[in-house]
Amino acid sequence: MPELPLLEATALSAQTEVKPSWRGWIHAGTFPVAIAAGIVLIVLAQGAPAKWSSAVFMATSLLLFGNSALYHRFSWKPKMRATLKRIDHANILLLIAGTYTPIAVLALPTSKSVLLLSLVWGGAILGILFRVFWIDAPRWLY
């Protein structure tokens, strides 16, 4: 059977992890923008619930963009890279919950807000536990 060098090269390259070249730069640039936007959001928020829920959103945004910039911008030793990757993936779940927080607090009645936030934050915590402690968990679990 004839060799198929392009197919073989594709198969080999699919096995190596590709490092996105722009992601680290984009997230590094977004980090200070998220600080400024978060401060404006908190200052303009009316009332304690709006302020603290906006602060939760700002904090989760900063965690995501800060860690992602750190993870994607530099070359790390394998152990540190694996740790930062776990944190990076966990921060996605935190940002989802952090995004729900001001929406639920400000747009829903208290009982429904508490229920929704319990489910969302519970799911985020469960997902984080899977991403951090069960590395080879089946993809459908998170």
What does each of the 142 residues of the chain score in pLDDT, given as a tens digit?
Answer: 555 555 455 445 445 666 777 888 998 999 999 999 999 999 999 999 999 999 999 999 999 999 999 998 988 899 999 889 999 999 999 999 999 999 999 999 999 999 999 999 999 999 999 888 887 777 777 6
* Distance (Å) of CA 130 to CA 44, 87, 95, 107: 37, 12, 16, 30
Please, are residues 74 and 26 in contact by the beta-carbon 8 Å criterion? Answer: no
Name the residue range of residue 79's domain: 22-141
Residue 46 lies in a domain: yes
pTM for the structure as a whole: 0.80
Residue 13 lies in a domain: no
Residue 14 lies in a domain: no
**Cα-to-chain-centroid distance, residue 20:** 16
Please, are residues 33 and 58 in contact by the beta-carbon 8 Å criterion? Answer: no
Residue 9 lies in a domain: no
**Cα-to-chain-centroid distance, residue 91:** 3
Q: How many domains does the chain have?
A: 1
